[in-house]
Amino acid sequence: MRQFKIFVAVVLAIILQANLQTIWDPLKFVNLPLIVVVYFALQRDMIEALIIGAVTGIAADAFSGSLLGAGGFAKTVVAFAIAFTASKVNIDNPLLRIPVLAGAVLVNESVQVGLNKLLGQSVNGPFIVRLANTVIATMVAGTVLLFVIEQFFSDKALLRRQFAQRRKLARRNVVNISRKNLRFGKRR
Amino acid sequence: MMLARTQLEMKQRAPWLLVGLLFLNIVLMGVDANRKGGGQIVRVFIQAVISPVQRVASAITGTIGGGLQGFSKARSAGTENEQLRQRVAQLEAEASDARLTKAENERLKALLDFKNSKQFETVPAQVISRDTTAWFNSVIINRGSSSGIKDGMPVVTPEGIVGRVIATSPWTSQIMLLTDERSAAGGVIGQLGTSESFGAIRGLGGDKGLIEMKYVSGLVPVNVGDVVTTTGQDRIYPPGLKIGEVIEVIQGSASTAHTIRIKPSARLNSLSEVAVLIYRAPEQPQMQQTLTEQEKVNR
């Protein structure tokens, strides 16, 4: 079931990325496949993160003018870096995700553009302006998306809801038990 | 993957997996860069697999985009209404002249269609996907090799040329747009045969969607508003197709070429329907490789 969710998330991200521009052109600067990679990399399963990074990057390259594998290389590096850091330091909170996303975009775009240029492919420019636009757009969209996913769709959110239910029941039982104790106490 | 992995397992396997995946990506890059001889088989396979879902998504986003445009137009409809009433009165007077012109236009168009249909076949297609990065300009259409499309074929709209095919799967094709930095074409300012302003068209890749024309002699007169057409010498586009209009000229001199910026006449930012021309440039004559009789005697 988890593998199916991952597959759907990756395919959805790529399809949306390829079609959002038709609604509003500046949306091309939001890197949805990278946001998906960052999300799974923050789950601290390094092997899963690496595979998702590679597959997402290659799939995104197939629908782009980029060399196939350049995006896969970049997203694999990003996934490894984030998963490795997440295993040492807790970076999975809403505030810390902002610099994580910014760093991920910087590394991903620089590596992808660098590899394309290294293999003789010229890219649209100017580089700094486009990079800045991509960093800002992906950071904003990524922070919002990851927050929404964490609040409503993640396993953590499900556990939180379950624990909230159990806490409610436990408090009710504690109150009832303490009332019973008082009654017993009075009888004694 | 279904089993819970220990930290030790991950520490042992992850570096090897990282190296393996990076190596795989490097191999894919090398294979993809070799555009001749099946180098793009992985790319077209992925496009073919995801394309059915892309078509549905494209239809949905096209509807949403159209709806948003309609909403924004409605907001300004009230102020436009009064202006339009005045305009209608003026237009009614012009309408009677327009009817006569229209009839003539339709006759000429029919002649032109007949002439074009004899030159080369066209395959109409819809754009189902745009580039997933901000660094390249390409689109994917819903026709592929099963419709007779091959790599290198030109793509056009009624307004002008769009780009060329760079990858095909059985059901989809990827088009590099004219505005991509790697895109090029041979152009002439004015009509082929009457103008001497030949040059090379190159995409600028910026957000403004402009292209550049290089190597036009600084002695040749070039003005803003001049129309640029294809020459056919690039062996990609047939001659005589409209590329765009000149919007900026930095005049050259006897020793320097003009710097010319062109706005493509096809609306590349809002492409929906295009046509692929089943066109192959005529074979070039073989250059004479052998010595003439006189040269043999002299030797």
Tell me the per-residue pLDDT of B233-251, one tens digit each, with 9 for 90 and over.
888 899 889 999 999 999 8
Is residue B249 assigned to a domain? yes
Chain B: residue whose CA lies nearest to A23: B65
- Pick the closest to residue A146 from A96, A111, A112 (CA basis): A96
The predicted structure's pLDDT at residue A87? 86
The predicted structure's pLDDT at residue B115? 46
Is residue B238 assigned to a domain? yes
Task: Please tell me the distance in Å from A120's CA to the nearest CA on chain B.
Answer: 9
The predicted structure's pLDDT at residue B185? 92
d(CA B219, CA A174): 95
CB contact under 8 A, A121 and B10: no
- φ, ψ at B225 (rounded to 5°): 100, -10
d(CA A183, CA B166): 84
User: Scanning the structure block, which residue is given the tokens 């074409």?
Assistant: B185
On chain A, the residues whose CB falls within 8 A of the CB of B62 are: 22
On chain A, the residues whose CB falls within 8 A of the CB of B5 are: 45, 47
Does the interface predicted TM-score (ipTM) exceed 0.95?
Answer: no
On chain B, the residues whose CB falls within 8 A of the CB of A59 are: 46, 50
d(CA B42, CA A18): 18
How many structural domains does chain B have? 1
Is residue B8 assigned to a domain? no
Identify which of B53, B65, B181 has the shortest CB distance to residue A124. Answer: B181
Residue A60 identity: A
On chain B, the residues whose CB falls within 8 A of the CB of A66 are: 133, 135-136
The CATH number that applies at residue B234 is 2.40.10.350
Identify which of B26, B54, B137 has the shortest CB distance to residue A18. Answer: B54
Identify which of A17, A119, A122 has the shortest CB distance to residue B29. Answer: A119
CB B238 within 8 A of CB B154: yes
The predicted structure's pLDDT at residue A188? 45
Under-70 pLDDT residues of chain B: 1-5, 35-39, 62, 65-76, 78-79, 82, 86, 89-90, 92-93, 96-97, 99-101, 103-119, 192, 283-299
On chain B, the residues whose CB falls within 8 A of the CB of A72 are: 21, 24-25, 28
Q: Is beta strand B154-157 parallel, antiparallel or unpaired with respect to B184-189?
A: unpaired
Grouping H, G, I as helix, E, B as strand and the rest as coil, residue B204 is: coil
d(CA B215, CA B189): 12
CB contact under 8 A, B21 and A15: no
Identify which of A73, A84, A112 has the shortest CB distance to residue B22. Answer: A73
Under-70 pLDDT residues of chain A: 154-158, 161, 173-188
pLDDT tens digit sequence for B140-189: 999 999 999 999 999 999 889 999 999 998 889 999 999 998 899 999 99
Identify which of B14, B42, B58 has the shortest CB distance to residue A46. Answer: B14
The predicted structure's pLDDT at residue B39? 55
Non-local CB neighbours of B244 within 8 Å, separated by 6+ positions? B160, B211, B227, B228, B262, B263, B264, B265, B266
The predicted structure's pLDDT at residue B220? 87
User: Scanning the structure block, which residue is given the tokens 């990065």?
Assistant: B133
d(CA A72, CA A53): 7
Query: Is this prediction's pTM over 0.80?
Result: no
Task: Please tell me the distance in Å from B286's CA to the nearest CA on chain A.
Answer: 31
Is residue B64 assigned to a domain? no
- Pick the closest to residue B132 from A45, A13, A40 (CA basis): A13
- Pick the closest to residue B217 from B247, B257, B273, B244 (CA basis): B257
Non-local CB neighbours of B84 within 8 Å, separated by 6+ positions? none
d(CA B12, CA B142): 45
CA distances from A54 to A59, A103, B18, B133 (A): 9, 18, 9, 16
DSSP state for residue B287 in the 8-state scheme? P
Residue B122 identity: T
A89: left (phi over 0), alpha (psi -120 to 50) or beta: beta
The predicted structure's pLDDT at residue B294? 65
The predicted structure's pLDDT at residue B81? 76
**Residues B130, B133, B134, B135, CA torsion sign:** negative
